[in-house]
């Protein structure tokens, strides 16, 4: 099932790219601007086809997003049907269309999840009190200690611990605290662990670590647990029909604020990294690198997050995609050169000073932005490879 969920997530992720660019494509055509190419991912090209209407559809190699190539993309172009000859309002609508599509997509996905089961994964996650109930609560294994009782049982990451039976008494595990309390209570004794793996329920007996062994290990660099697992609680909440939209809006706003804070930390970390490189301060460089890399993920990181989330089911995968949609909306609204927001704010700034940008200056700014983005993408990919492999 996890493979199907992963495929489902990747399809949704590609769908985010397509709908983002489709927003640009449709709004451009609606405002009289000729769209010459609709591309999924960035070149070099893997596939292209000239469609009815004369525009080209392409699938490309570099999975960093997508693009719509418009006729006369320079602000100074004046040829009929070009982007340059469109009004400032039309240009703003074209550039902001992708942001709006991603924002609406994130809101809709979170609203659907609020109705069918919204994962509770953010600390102090926004919640409309009295309008929801817990529809699912699972205690999931995230890692297993080598040579531990859990390893002897055959427990693996993503298995769900359901119950613990000792002295003839079966007790349901509904939280991490439940398992910690029971394994400590029955330390050194034989227990029956009920767990689920790939939808199949197993019941196996094992002897827990003794209190003496666990306490002695706490003084070493290799502490042990009574069962030998680390856990996370996976909880879904369902909201009433009227609360779903409100939950979606509140949670989206919380995600946006957390994303902006994370971006701020990433920028500060990157500045410390650069300062450390310039001054030769290895402590500042390493600290800056750690702070910056902890806040970002590239294509490899996104794939690994989706792969890990696939074991938790469709709800969690939808949640990941919703968060990515909101993040794309934020990134494409900020004044980052070469991205939608960068071009939009540059356009508005040029109109504010009453002087349209020359083609040369516009190309230089966007080219510098693209070089920076691609360089950061390579750096983040290397960090992701080191982090996950």
Convert the pLDDT of each residue in 59-96 to its tens digit.
Answer: 999 887 889 999 988 777 778 899 888 988 999 999 99
Model pTM? 0.80
Specify whether the CB–CB gap between 247 and 133 falls below 8 A. Answer: no
Q: How high is the pLDDT of residue 157?
A: 84
| Neighbour count for residue 337 (Cβ, 10 Å) | 19
| Confidence at 291, pLDDT banded by 50, 70, 90 | very low
Q: Which residues, at least 6 apart from 102, have a Cβ–Cβ distance to it below 8 Å?
A: 16, 19, 20, 325, 326, 328, 329, 332
Average pLDDT over the chain reads 84
Q: How high is the pLDDT of residue 387?
A: 59
pLDDT tens-digit map of 329-343: 998 898 887 788 888
pLDDT tens-digit map of 119-154: 998 888 999 988 999 998 888 888 899 999 999 999
> Using N-to-C axis directions, what is the helix angle for 314-331 and 88-116, rounded to 10°?
160
* d(C-alpha 32, C-alpha 35), whole Å: 9
* d(C-alpha 199, C-alpha 9), whole Å: 20
pLDDT tens-digit map of 145-181: 999 999 999 999 888 999 999 988 999 998 899 999 9
Q: How high is the pLDDT of residue 288?
A: 44
* d(C-alpha 332, C-alpha 373), whole Å: 12
Q: Which residues pair with 172 in a beta bridge?
A: 163
- % of the chain surpassing 90 pLDDT: 47
| Confidence at 285, pLDDT banded by 50, 70, 90 | very low
Q: Which residues pair with 56 in a beta bridge?
A: 37, 50
Q: How high is the pLDDT of residue 383?
A: 61
Structural domains of the chain, ranges and CATH numbers in brackets: 1-131+240-389 (no CATH), 133-239 (2.30.42.10)
Residue 97 has pLDDT above 70, yes or no: yes
- 147's enclosing H/E stretch is none
pLDDT tens-digit map of 262-281: 777 766 666 665 566 556 65
Q: Is 271 helix (H, G, I), strand (E, B) or coil?
A: helix
pLDDT tens-digit map of 230-261: 988 889 999 999 999 999 999 999 999 988 88
Residue 11 has pLDDT above 80, yes or no: yes
Specify whether the CB–CB gap between 75 and 357 falls below 8 A. Answer: yes
Please spell the DSSP secondary structure of 319-357, one letter per residue: HHHHHHHHHHHHHTTS--TTSHHHHHHHHHHHHHTT-PP
């Amino acid at each position: 099932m996890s493979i199907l969920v992963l495929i489902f997530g990747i399809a949704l992720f590609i769908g985010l790219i397509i709908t983002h660019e489709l927003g640009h494509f449709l709004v451009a055509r609606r405002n009289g601007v000729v769209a010459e190419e609709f591309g999924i991912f960035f070149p070099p090209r893997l596939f292209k086809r000239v469609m009815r209407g004369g525009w080209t559809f392409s699938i490309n190699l570099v999975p960093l997003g997508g693009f719509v190539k418009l006729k006369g993309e320079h602000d100074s172009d004046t040829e009929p049907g070009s982007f340059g000859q469109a009004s400032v309002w039309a240009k703003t609508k074209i550039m902001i269309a992708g942001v709006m599509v991603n924002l609406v997509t994130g809101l809709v996905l979170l609203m659907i999840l609020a109705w069918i089961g919204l994962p509770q994964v953010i600390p102090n996650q926004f919640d409309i009190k009295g309008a929801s109930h817990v529809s699912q609560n699972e205690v999931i294994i995230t890692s297993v200690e080598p040579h531990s009782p859990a390893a002897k049982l055959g427990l693996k990451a993503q298995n769900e611990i359901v119950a613990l039976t000792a002295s003839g008494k079966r007790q349901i595990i509904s939280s991490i605290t439940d398992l910690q309390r029971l394994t400590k209570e029955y330390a050194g004794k034989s227990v029956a662990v009920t767990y689920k793996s790939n939808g199949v329920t197993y019941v196996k007996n094992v002897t827990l670590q003794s209190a003496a062994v666990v306490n002695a290990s706490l003084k070493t660099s290799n502490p042990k647990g009574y069962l030998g697992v680390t856990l996370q609680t996976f909880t879904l909440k369902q909201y009433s029909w009227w609360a779903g939209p409100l939950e979606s809006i509140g949670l989206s706003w919380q995600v946006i604020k957390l994303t902006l804070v994370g971006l701020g930390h990433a920028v500060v970390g990157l500045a410390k990294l650069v300062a450390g490189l310039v001054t030769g301060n290895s402590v500042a460089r390493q600290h800056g690198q750690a702070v910056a890399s902890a806040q970002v993920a590239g294509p490899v990181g996104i794939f690994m997050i989706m792969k890990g989330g696939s074991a938790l089911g469709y709800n969690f995968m939808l949640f990941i995609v919703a968060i990515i949609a909101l993040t794309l909306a934020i990134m494409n609204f900020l004044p980052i050169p070469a991205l939608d927001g960068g071009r939009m704010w540059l356009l508005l700034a040029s109109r504010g000073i009453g002087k349209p940008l020359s083609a040369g200056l516009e190309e230089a700014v966007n080219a510098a932005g693209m070089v920076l983005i691609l360089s950061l993408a390579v750096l983040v990919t290397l960090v992701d490879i080191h982090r996950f492999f």
